[in-house]
Amino acid sequence: MKLTMVGDSSVGKTSIALQFTQDFFPHDHKPTITDIETRVLNIEGQDVLFQIWDTAGQDKFRSLLPLYLRGVDGALLVYDVTNQESFKNILTWISEVRRGASGNPVMALVGNKTDLKDYRCVTTQDGENLALEQGMIFIETSAKTGHNVHQAFFEVGMTLCYTYCCN
């Protein structure tokens, strides 16, 4: 399954991908242009290979996004719960995914950095409401602690599995 991770710069897309594929949190890393990580998960007794395309959040690389969305099965749209602007920009990212992807990819709205409780400005309810309005899976994660990171990919994988391979 090809998954693309999109969202503003510095929301934690790379950290989520590395926590999922390598059980590793990078304390210091450079901005991503693009990276591909892989991991196999067992879903409903079936081994499913996830190919995760970690995209750049900077505007100067946005023109590359359609290349990464081609043939995508799912997308994780990531925002930072401590950054209201990254949440507001999710609507733009949703439009980009819907315009660039062929078919109807499964989309998950992922609120990251929940470990930074004292700095939180986007509520869980705000995320849930947006996900419900847009017909998306919703989950909150902390790439730093690993909280719900595997669950985010598992939920997307389960939805894809029921849609494409398990029926």
- Among 3-12, 44-53, 115-124, the minimum mean pLDDT is found in 44-53
Predicted local confidence at residue 44, as pLDDT: 84
Task: Compute the distance between CA of residue 102 and CA of residue 73 in angstroms, rounded to an integer.
Answer: 9
CB 150 within 8 A of CB 20: yes
What mean pLDDT comes out for the span 109-121? 98
Burial profile 115-141: b = 16 or more Cβ within 10 angstroms, e = fewer: beeeebebeeeebeebbeeeebbbbbb
Going by C-alpha positions, the residue among 167, 143, 160, 163 that lies closest to residue 48 is 160
3-state secondary structure of 40: strand
3-state secondary structure of 67: helix
Residues 31-78: pLDDT tens digits? 454 567 888 988 888 888 999 988 765 554 555 666 778 889 999 999
- Rounded-to-5 percentages of helix, strand, coil across the chain: 40, 25, 35
What mean pLDDT comes out for the span 76-88? 98
What mean pLDDT comes out for the span 19-33? 74
What pTM does this model have? 0.89
Average pLDDT, the chain: 88
CB 50 within 8 A of CB 163: no
More confident residue, 109 or 29: 109
Predicted local confidence at residue 33, as pLDDT: 44
Give the tokens for residue 26.
């990078």
Whether the predicted pLDDT of 146 surpasses 90? yes
Predicted local confidence at residue 148, as pLDDT: 98
User: Read out DSSP for 136-151?
Assistant: -EEEE--TTT-TTHHH
More confident residue, 32 or 24: 24
Beta bridge partners of 36: 53
Task: Compute the distance between CA of residue 114 and CA of residue 71 in angstroms, rounded to an integer.
Answer: 31
Domains and CATH numbers, the chain: 2-165 (3.40.50.300)
Predicted local confidence at residue 60, as pLDDT: 46
**Quick one: pLDDT band at residue 102, thresholds 50, 70, 90?**
confident
